Chains A and B, each alone.
Chain A
Amino acid sequence: MRFFQTLLRIDRRIIYLVVAGLVMLPLVRPLGLGVTSGPRAQVLFDVIDSLPSGKTVLISVDFDPASMPELYPMMAAVMRHAFARDLKVLICGLWVTGPGLADRALSEIPPEYGKEYGKDVVYLGWKAGVDAVILGMGENIKSVFPVDYQGHPLESLPMMNEVAKLRDIPIAVIFSAGDPGYRDWIRYGQTRYGLRVSAGITAVSAADAYPYLQTGQLTGLLAGMKGGAEYEILVQKSGYSNAYMPAVAAMDSQSLAHVVIMLLVIVGNVAYFATRKRGA
């Protein structure tokens, strides 16, 4: 009884230390659990893999640095896949903190495949207005983004000669950490302009995406860091990239972290019911 009471009164900072230690350990000494891809990541992979060379994939950077560990690796993996398949990548964003992250990706990934800005990849930047941005792009992308993020007029970019509006884009992959995000692209881009939408989302909102998956409004889904790891593995196994895979590297820690949380819940409940029963 006293043991359980002591358990319930453990200082929270000890719990923090235990969590920190058990999360850091597999990063330094990997457990080698391995990662296999799931069905939803496979669907998106197959769609992008089957696109004819030269087609444009739209990527929307709808997240902030807080969600970087989950969404940046999957965005990088999708970009690498697109470039390896000789697809063009058009990037835009609905979150004001997205531009810095997109800029970082642009500095790292296109050079790996010898891709040229303006010909193979264009970054439009961010615009205020969410629905108005999507709806405007549905009619005419250049009316929404007269210049790209770097200030070049879109007419001067060769890639933009083939992409005038959303209907010219076979698939949009929305990396979103909440609202605005993939739901807005479905409501406005898909409903009105038939845009095919896929999403890479934080795990927090992953469970909410299943109604859209079931109706086919979402084509494939990358959920959280696991989703990113799945896509990284698919890209690597297909020979499209040998780059470092941060999401895959984190999966051992993720596994251990989940076990820790489950144990904390179980121990907490056992101690609670043990003390409550005796107390009553």
Chain B
Amino acid sequence: MHVSTDILTWLAVVLTLGIFSFLWKDNPFYKFCEHLFVGVAAGYTICVTWHNSVYPDLITPLFGQGQLLFSIPLLLGLCYFARFIPRVSWLIRFPMAFVLGWASGVAIPAALQADVLRQVQGTFLTPSIFARWDVFLWALISFVGVVSSILYFFFSREHKGALKLASETGIIFLMVGFGASFGYTVMARMSLLIGRFQFLLRDWLGVIR
């Protein structure tokens, strides 16, 4: 065992154990670490936004290169801060209109193509599925699964008769899907814990080489 003598490693360890202390019970040390995290994260966001986005994309072209057209996004961006001045808070609608309009317009063809058309295309039963009996069966199961799961979410009609059968079949597939997600979520959460333990045991205590 070779305990680290690096003060920064010890700082990281203290903060890690501070967060872990919440597992015993809520305490001032945990609250301190939690609020420290919020403040540092917000400060880091500001720094990265300034150095990576605002300075090279706005300050340099507008004030460094004299491209006056960039005063329009500058004004739009500044309108966001009107939110803090009640008398002119309605100005925030302009940047929001620009952002929402742009993002919505760009998203529609992209979502339709990637998330609707390609997904529907992937569901079709094509002649290639007849190559082998198990490929055929799985393709059929997938097709039935997609259709029945979609029909489960169709609430415009009462689930009776054929729709009820389809809906109940859909529930089976949805439960399998959620179960798979849960299984993977267990893996994810445990991985994050293992990562922290690797830091404590390797970088701090030197128990793992």
Residues of A within 8 A of B (CB): 13, 16, 19-20, 23-24, 27-28, 66-70, 96-97, 99-100, 125-128, 131-132, 135, 145-147, 149, 183, 186-188, 190-192, 202-204, 206-208, 211, 214-215, 217, 223-226, 246, 249-250, 253-254, 257-258, 261
Supply 30 A–B pairs (Cβ within 8 Å), ascending by A. Answer: A20-B197, A24-B201, A27-B194, A27-B208, A66-B192, A69-B195, A70-B188, A70-B191, A70-B192, A96-B48, A96-B49, A97-B44, A97-B45, A131-B103, A131-B106, A135-B106, A187-B110, A192-B110, A203-B184, A203-B185, A204-B185, A207-B177, A207-B181, A211-B122, A224-B184, A246-B198, A250-B195, A254-B190, A257-B193, A261-B186
Q: Is B88 an interface residue (CB 8 A)?
A: no
B94 to chain A, nearest CB (A): 18
Instruction: Say yes or no: A147-B56 contact (C-beta < 8 A), given A13-B23, A203-B185.
Output: yes
Does B192 lie within 8 Å of A207, measured CB to CB? no
B interface residues with partner A (beta carbon < 8 Å): 23-24, 41, 44-45, 48-49, 52-53, 56-57, 60, 102-103, 106-107, 109-111, 113-115, 118-119, 121-122, 142, 177, 180-181, 183-188, 190-198, 201, 207-208
Known: A13-B23, A127-B52. A69 touches B181 (CB 8 A): no
Chain B residue numbers with a CB within 8 Å of A132 are 102
What residues on B are CB-neighbors of A208 within 8 Å?
181
User: Is the pair B52, A211 in contact by a Cβ cutoff of 8 Å?
Assistant: no
Could you list 18 further interchain pairs (A-B, Cβ under 8 angstroms) beyond the known A99-B52, A187-B111, A253-B197? A27-B194, A66-B192, A70-B188, A70-B195, A96-B45, A131-B107, A190-B114, A191-B113, A192-B110, A203-B185, A204-B188, A206-B184, A215-B122, A217-B114, A225-B187, A253-B194, A257-B190, A258-B187
Query: When A and B form their complex, what is the total count of cross-chain residue pairs whose Cβ atoms lie within 8 Å?
Result: 141
Residue of B nearest to A153 (CB): B56
Cα A207 to Cα B180 with chains together (Å): 6
The answer to whether B52 and A215 have CB atoms under 8 Å apart is no
Which secondary structure dominates where chain B touches chain A? helix
Q: Do B24 and A202 touch (CB < 8 A)?
A: no
Q: Give chain A residues whose Cβ lies under 8 Å from the Cβ of B188.
A: 70, 202-204, 224
Q: Which residues of A contact B177 (CB under 8 A)?
A: 207
Q: Which residues of B contact A125 (CB under 8 A)?
A: 52
What is the bound-complex CA distance between A257 and B188, given in angstroms? 11
- A96 and B190 alpha carbons, distance in the complex (Å): 25
Q: Identify which of A135, A147, A188, A254 contacts B187 (C-beta below 8 A).
A: A254
Whether A191 and B114, one on each chain, are in contact in the complex, defined by CB atoms closer than 8 angstroms, is yes
